[in-house]
Amino acid sequence: MAKYREEQILKTRDRILDAAISVFHEFGLSHASLTAVAKLAGVTRDSLHSHFRDRAGLLNALTERMQLPGEALCAAAGDELKIDPLGILRTRWVWLFDEISCNDEWQRLLEIIFLPCDSINEVCESTHRIKQGRTERLERMGRLLEMAVAADQLPADLDVDLAQQMLHGGLFGVLEDWLLSSRIADLGELGQHYIDALLDMIRFSPALRMNRQSLQTLH
């Protein structure tokens, strides 16, 4: 009996979260009504509050159901990381683009999180997680680029700080553009071409070298 009750509680919780995605996506975080979430989920407002205290709690739980962009970059890769750090970087971004392109829930959550038309007043764990994720992504990219330099996959005089900022901005730029567009393009294929182009730029662009004084005379 206790097991059945626990299963019902989990099913109700998932129904509420599924409804929250739809309501947050349609109305935005600041204008989303918990009453609307409860109605769509087929539960009472009191029942919703027994699971989640407020919108911030709902958003936290929603983001816990997905792997945010870049978190895969921060996972260990074992010995392969030392042998082919640039390949690891590329593979994980290609995986991320492929996953987002075929996962409707992730797409809607990313729109809610990264492209808000307004903001939620409550300070929530998901906001901290997103900011922390950006810091970890940049640090992880920097380490991977440094390892790629050590493995002779990238030039020895690469400006790693500049390269990681450009790589991060470029990859998230194409993701944001895709989310804002009609999504006709295949994000998996588009992302693969994009990261290959960015890596080629990092490999060959003189503007990404530590000694750029000679380039000033050209501009």
Task: Concatenate the DSSP letters of all residues of 130-151 into one string.
Answer: HHHHHHHHHHHHHHHHHHHHHT
pLDDT score of 179: 85
Residues pairing with 158 in the sheet = 209
pLDDT score of 141: 86
Round the average pLDDT of the chain to a whole number and report it: 82
pLDDT score of 57: 86
SS3 for 121?
coil
Mean pLDDT for the stretch of residues 1-19: 84
Using 50, 70 and 90 to split pLDDT, how confident is the model at 219? very low
The amino acid present at 162, given as its one-letter code, is L
The amino acid present at 110, given as its one-letter code, is L
DSSP alpha helix (H) spans, 28-103: 34-41, 45-51, 55-64, 80-83, 85-101
**Which contiguous run of DSSP H or E holds residue 4?**
helix 2-27
Closest CA to 82 of 151, 141, 137, 143: 151
Give CA–CA dist 4/218, Å, rounded: 73
Give CA–CA dist 157/149, Å, rounded: 8
Give CA–CA dist 59/129, Å, rounded: 11
Using 50, 70 and 90 to split pLDDT, how confident is the model at 161? very high
Please determine, for residue 131, whether its predicted confidence score (pLDDT) is greater than 80.
Answer: no
Question: Which residue reads 């929530």 in tokens?
Answer: 124
pLDDT score of 218: 44
- Topology of domain 2-64 in CATH is Arc Repressor Mutant, subunit A (1.10.10)
Mean pLDDT for the stretch of residues 130-146: 80
Give CA–CA dist 54/20, Å, rounded: 11
Using CB atoms within 10 Å of the CB of residue 78, give its burial: 0 to 12 exposed, 13 to 18 middle, 19+ buried: exposed
Please determine, for residue 166, whether its predicted confidence score (pLDDT) is greater than 50.
Answer: yes
pLDDT score of 194: 92
User: Where does CATH 1.10.10.60 sit in the chain?
Assistant: 2-64
Please determine, for residue 123, whether its predicted confidence score (pLDDT) is greater than 70.
Answer: no
Using 50, 70 and 90 to split pLDDT, how confident is the model at 76? low
Please determine, for residue 182, whether its predicted confidence score (pLDDT) is greater than 80.
Answer: no
User: Where does CATH 1.10.357.10 sit in the chain?
Assistant: 72-218
pLDDT score of 92: 85
Please determine, for residue 217, whether its predicted confidence score (pLDDT) is greater than 70.
Answer: no
**CA angle at residue 136 from 133 to 137, to 5 degrees?**
85
- Topology of domain 72-218 in CATH is Tetracycline Repressor; domain 2 (1.10.357)
* Whether pTM exceeds 0.85: no
More confident residue, 124 or 90: 90
